[in-house]
Amino acid sequence: MKKRLLVLGAGTAGTMIVNRLRHRLSSDDWDITVVDRDDQHHYQPGYLFLPFGTYAEKQVTRARHVFLPDGVDFVIGDVDVVRPETNHVVLADGRELTYDYLVIASGTSPRPDQTPGMLGAEWRLSIFDFYTYDGALALRDALAEFDHGRLVVHITDMPIKCPVAPLEFTFLAEAWLREQGLRDRVELVFVTPLPGAFTKPIASAHLGSMLDDRKIAVEADFLVEHIDSERKTLVSYDEREVPFDLLVTVPLNMGADFVARSGLGDELNYVPVDRHTLLSTAHANIFAVGDASDIPASKAGSVAHFSVEIFADNFLELVAGKPMTHTFDGHTNCFIESGDHKGLLIDFNYDTEPLPGKFPLPVIGPMDLLKETRANHLGKLAFRWIYWNVLLPGRPMPLPSHMSMLGKSTQDVRKNQE
């Protein structure tokens, strides 16, 4: 009898998984099925550029089935519940799918309903998000009409998809306002629950100085309790207030609701897994990959990419009855748009924070780490082509899954420890 691999989610991680495994698992021995709610795949990093008109809508959406290999069954439907005790999944329309191995790759989503007042009368009038396709387009229209006042960029809580994206939006907004001749008429404020601009000390100090240089005020350690839509004000648990004319918020991010209904998740609906193998801590035949897991790494496309490579090798060992010998180290790299056609690049993992240096090769680069360059900006733009044509189809990329220290400087680490 054939074995059954069921993947819940045909986003970045799920699509890469079926592309990497279909040609390595015999179709005579394995059935592979992937489930998602629709047939529209979004290039989510492109949402950042939609409000500024850099990308058009057609550049960030494609059909999901185009990227799925022959021999993979694509089921369109909403997942209602996973029943791990019987190894089957129930869809919202009553269909049932069975599995021998299950991969949860259902991602994470913004939940504005979780913050009182966020979805009030001002939603999509003076309160916007750009972490959704519709939100980014609505914000584009709002920015076209905004010519003075207080623009506040706000993060509700961590973790979030692409944790540098709110900073990127802030830098791009500042540059866009200068280009429009409006910078002197707009006060920019960055509101974060973190103690600084970012989670890692060296990167946080560097990015914080960039905010200072651009005269962007920072309201740190701000945990929003509610939004007073009548007064257009963010209110924190410690009763601090941040008024706004235009609020660009990143709502609380949460995993899929079916994870909670299935008893598989934590308080934010992320699946607890071994952070090195991505295997569920509760079930020996369930993995969670990409943004769906609780690993202490950025919820970013690069994490999905590097972790899927590790997962694929481990999965083949597991189903062959062997110990899993490959470990994921939390490797993440992110381009950070900084405006004026420049950008930064950071590269880090579970144990090592972003450091200055060259990437991916020492001395040669060609990318600079923690430094604003046009090359990094062009790399960010080029990644869209790489995503559609290399990453999703599961083609090899010339980057190691594990982070390398080659080309990185530890001088700032030593200074930070002194």
pTM: 0.94
Greater pLDDT, 349 or 415: 349
Among positive and negative, which fits the CA dihedral 301, 306, 310, 313? positive
C-beta pairs of 119-127 under 8 Å, 24+ apart in sequence: 120/227, 120/229, 121/229, 121/230, 122/227, 122/229, 122/232, 122/247, 126/232, 126/244, 126/245, 126/246, 126/247, 127/227, 127/229, 127/247, 127/249
Residue 118 has pLDDT above 50, yes or no: yes
Q: What is the pLDDT of residue 411?
A: 63
Q: Across residues 169-196, what is the average pLDDT?
A: 97
- Residues in Cβ contact with 176 at an 8 Å cutoff, skipping those fewer than 6 apart: 52, 143, 339
Please check whether residue 196 is in contact with residue 206, taking contact to mean a CB–CB distance below 8 angstroms: no
- Residues in Cβ contact with 84 at an 8 Å cutoff, skipping those fewer than 6 apart: 102, 262, 264, 282, 283, 286
Q: What is the mean pLDDT of the chain?
A: 95
Residue 87 has pLDDT above 90, yes or no: yes
- Give the tens place of pLDDT for each residue, 260-274: 999 999 999 999 999
Q: Which two tokens stand for residue 276?
A: 């090195």
Residue 146 has pLDDT above 70, yes or no: yes
Q: What is the pLDDT of residue 397?
A: 85
Domains located in the chain, CATH noted: 3-107+256-319 (3.50.50.60), 112-252 (3.50.50.60), 332-417 (no CATH)
* Cα separation, 51 vs 415, whole angstroms: 39
Residue 418 has pLDDT above 70, yes or no: no
Q: Across residues 303-313, what is the average pLDDT?
A: 96
Residue 193 has pLDDT above 60, yes or no: yes
Residue 384 has pLDDT above 50, yes or no: yes
In this structure, the number of other CB atoms found within 10 A of the CB of residue 303 comes to 26
* Cα separation, 326 vs 359, whole angstroms: 24
